[in-house]
Amino acid sequence: MHVAHLSLADFRSYARVEVPLDPGVTAFVGPNGQGKTNLVEAVGYLATLGSHRVASDAPLVRMGAERAVVRASVAHGDRQQLVELEINPGRANRARINRSSQVRPRDVLGIVRTVLFAPEDLSLVKGDPGERRRFLDELVTLRAPRMAGVRQDYERVLRQRNTLLKSAALARRHGGGRGADLSTLDVWDQHLARHGAELLAQRLDLVAGLEPLTDKAYEQLAPGGGPVGLEYRPSSETAGARSREELYEVLMGALEGARKQEIERGVTLVGPHRDDLLLKLGELPAKGYASHGESWSYALALRLASYELLRADGERAGGEPVLILDDVFAELDARRRDRLAELVAPGEQVLVTAAVDDDVPGALSGARFRVSDGEVDRV
């Protein structure tokens, strides 16, 4: 799929802008602070109903305006769809598909699909385990939309169970209280293990598919610098279990083993919410050992691998995603720029941003837009 036309109203710095887009590579070039990233951020918002830069929607609306509108005409093969999102901070967003307003915003999900790489992604390598779990879970949900429900259920069981454990821990410490509360812990264990096993099975499956692709992407970006390996680090030993049923048993066993400690600490210590993805460079973990440049390449390799994986899923999964590379070239030397350009050239649609023309590799043909002071002009 590709975005054939993007129009924004009161989005970030733009009062109004119309950007006709072609398949293939498109570069947005302009000095910092002129609004390049805002354009790709808008495309990303249509894909995820969230921004990759901020957690709340308020900064997305232009100063002084009440709401922002992102509108895109999307081409899936011969089919054209018009998607519109009205962003109302503090209130529910509104969506329209092909001018019909009988849709919920979440119905928009899946029409625009993106893989976005931005400077913030460095935290995939250097940041907390939570960053890597979110990376995995977002990809899992993109490949199997049903998993959004599983993730929600899991989060909710976890909150229920933690509340129960916390009140039990409090009662123990201060004496008295209602010890009988713990009679329901077995029930929450079962539900935690069931949803947890489903999420875990999907993550393991994803990591297995992602590893060779990440290694390949890293080798292309930094020849001879690898190999890279992805190792899923569960909070409890899974002993080679892969299926939902096996993982359910693993989690139930681990919960039983951790119960005493969980009651003492008043928090759930077992489950996918405590897991991590170990990113290895050679034999060492990338976090703490890799240089800034290596970490950068690693994060980029993870995104490129996601892109390849979704492309390989093909039409079944909703068509080829749009690859967005925000401000990626400035950090790479000339040789790596050219390699990256080669790598992404065959994509159905690739949107890149760069501060100066020289940053954009010569090998990257395609359309070029100059972004300056809220104006977007094709060169």
Binding stretches for another protein (CB under 8 A): 145-146, 148-149, 153, 156-157, 159-161, 163-164, 167, 178, 180-181, 183-184, 186-188, 190-191
**Residue 35 annotated in ligand binding:** yes
**Residue 33 annotated in ligand binding:** yes
* Main-chain dihedrals φ then ψ at residue 35, nearest 5 degrees: 110, 20
Minimum distance of another protein from residue 229's CB (angstroms): 33
**Residue 31 annotated in ligand binding:** yes
Q: Which residue type, as a one-letter code, is found at position 360?
A: V
**Residue 64 annotated in ligand binding:** no
Closest CB to another protein among residues 134, 178: 178
Closest CB to another protein among residues 15, 187: 187
Minimum distance of another protein from residue 143's CB (angstroms): 12
**Residue 44 annotated in ligand binding:** no
Outline where 86-184 has alpha helix (H).
122-126, 129-143, 147-174
Minimum distance of another protein from residue 74's CB (angstroms): 20
Residue 282 · residue 262 · CB < 8 Å: no
Residue 188 · residue 164 · CB < 8 Å: yes
Closest CB to another protein among residues 149, 346: 149
First to last CA, the chain: 24
CB atoms within 10 A of CB 32: 11
Minimum distance of another protein from residue 100's CB (angstroms): 14
Minimum distance of another protein from residue 185's CB (angstroms): 10
Q: What angle do CA 301, 214, 310 make, to 5 degrees?
A: 90
Residue 367 · residue 26 · CB < 8 Å: yes
Closest CB to another protein among residues 247, 328: 247
Minimum distance of another protein from residue 163's CB (angstroms): 4
Q: Which residue type, as a one-letter code, is found at position 45?
A: Y
Closest CB to another protein among residues 68, 252: 252
Largest CA distance in the chain: 75
**Residue 48 annotated in ligand binding:** no
Radius of gyration over alpha carbons of the chain, in Å? Answer: 23
Closest CB to another protein among residues 160, 220: 160
How far apart, in whole angstroms, are the C-alpha atoms of residue 229 and residue 212?
Answer: 8
Going by C-beta distance under 8 Å and a sequence separation of 6 or more, which residues neighbour residue 113?
1, 47, 142, 310, 318, 319, 320, 321, 322
DSSP 145: T
**Residue 220 annotated in ligand binding:** no
How far apart, in whole angstroms, are the C-alpha atoms of residue 119 and residue 128?
Answer: 16
Closest CB to another protein among residues 100, 183: 183
Minimum distance of another protein from residue 262's CB (angstroms): 14
Minimum distance of another protein from residue 223's CB (angstroms): 42
For helices 147-174 and 129-143, angle between their N-to-C axes, nearest 10 degrees: 140
Going by C-beta distance under 8 Å and a sequence separation of 6 or more, which residues neighbour residue 201?
242, 243, 244, 247
* 3-state secondary structure at position 283: coil
Closest CB to another protein among residues 201, 217: 201
Residue 366 · residue 24 · CB < 8 Å: yes
Annotated binding site for ATP: which residue ranges? 30-37
Annotated binding site: which residue ranges? 30-37
